[in-house]
Amino acid sequence: MKEGFLNFMGYSIYWKSFGKPLKGNILCLHGGPGATHDYMLPMAWLAERGYRVVFYDQLGCGRSELPKNRALFVPETYVEEVETVRKKLKLGRPIVIGSSWGGMLAIAYCLKYQRNVSAVITVGGLHSVPMTFREMEKMKKKLPPEVLKTIEKYESEGDYENREYQEAVMVFYKRHLCRLESWPKELMYSLEKISKPVYYTMNGPNEFSIIGNIRYWDVRDELQKINVPFLILTGKYDEVSPKVARDMHKLIKNSKMHIFEYSSHLPFWEEKENFKAVVERFLDSIT
């Protein structure tokens, strides 16, 4: 394992990597926006398959520097950050793997810098925040009545930090974020260390209350421009509904899609071995 810091717009960005690029480089984009790379560490298994696997904490997240200027927390900034990381770590044309918001970022990056990408894998990724939000609203309405009542009560008061509200939100997360009985320490770390300045500015107070600046982000009309090998992964119970994945699959020509039957948002934790098999099959098909 190697690690270090690189400079992006005058700010310090933390990165780490595993393995050597015998078959190529893989760049992992974490979710949030505002989480840390740690919950994506299962992807490091790809180092054993001959890839250099690179992780980093995005601007304002984890071990990377937090700017005071919140106007920087927009998708366009993070697209340029991906390009800076690619250049400074000499990744050539990496395979980009994006989880959740990282999947959205991978799409945004591909739309601007497709020539610098050899393939894309999204896990619980999205191309339309409005569509994703509508689907989450449907999931929310299927929560137990008392849980939904608690959520609606505190949302009407704007009291997102209330303990009762947080407990009600966790019911949603246990269904649609990670369905494991016991959550991995890496996932817990990423959630506990989430950068509220980034998360609140871009997304909102939780996964289904998308009131930040990404709420209208929608690139459905641009997806036909993407022509690199593209794998869309989702879980049957994913908070980013399989309906979103199917729509992406329809719009990205020659894309492949797989739905994990026992997973929600994090199949690389929930169905580790099955996830590895699906990803390895895709990588073998493009190399």
The per-residue b/e assignment along 231-270, b for 16 or more CB within 10 angstroms, e otherwise, is: bbbbbebbbbbbebbebbbebbeebbbbebeebbbbbbbb
Residue 227's pLDDT is what?
96
User: Is the C-alpha dihedral spanning 257, 260, 263, 269 positive or negative?
Assistant: negative
Q: How long is the chain? A: 287
Express each pLDDT in 80-136 by its tens digit. 999 999 999 999 999 999 999 999 999 999 999 999 999 999 999 999 999 999 999
Residue 39's pLDDT is what?
98
Residue 195's pLDDT is what?
97
DSSP 234-282: EETT-SS-HHHHHHHHHHSTT-EEEEETT-SS-HHHHTHHHHHHHHHHH
DSSP 180-230: -SS--HHHHHHHHT--HHHHHHHT-SBTTB--STTTT-B-GGGGGG--S-E
Q: Please report which confidence band the pLDDT of residue 207 belongs to, taking 50, 70 and 90 as the band edges.
A: confident
Task: Residue 53: name the closest of 112, 90, 95 by CA.
Answer: 95
Domain boundaries, the chain: 2-286
* Token pair of 112 as six digits: 């601007």
Which residues carry out catalysis?
100, 238, 265
Residues forming beta bridges with residue 121, ordered by sequence position: 97, 231
Residue 287's pLDDT is what?
78
Q: Please report which confidence band the pLDDT of residue 270 belongs to, taking 50, 70 and 90 as the band edges.
A: very high
Residues forming beta bridges with residue 12, ordered by sequence position: 7
CATH 3.40.50.1820 fits 2-286, yes or no: yes
Give the type of residue at 54. V
CA torsion 72-207-174-280 (nearest 10°) is -60
Residue 251's pLDDT is what?
98
**Which residue's entry shows tokens 């992807």?**
43
Residue 113's pLDDT is what?
98
pLDDT value at 158 more than 90 = no
Surface-to-core class of residue 182, CB atoms within 10 Å of its CB (0-12 exposed, 13-18 middle, 19+ buried): exposed
* List of residues 6+ apart from 26 with CB closer than 8 A: 43, 46, 51, 52, 53, 54, 94, 95, 96, 97
What is the C-alpha separation between 35 and 40, in angstroms, rounded? Answer: 10
Residue 209's pLDDT is what?
82
Q: Please report which confidence band the pLDDT of residue 74 belongs to, taking 50, 70 and 90 as the band edges.
A: very high
By percentage, how much of the chain surpasses pLDDT 70?
Answer: 100
pLDDT value at 208 more than 90 = no
The model's pTM is: 0.96
Express each pLDDT in 229-246 by its tens digit. 999 999 999 999 999 999
- Computed over every residue of the chain, the mean pLDDT equals 97
pLDDT value at 16 more than 90 = yes
DSSP label of 73:
-
CA torsion 70-73-76-82 (nearest 10°) is 130
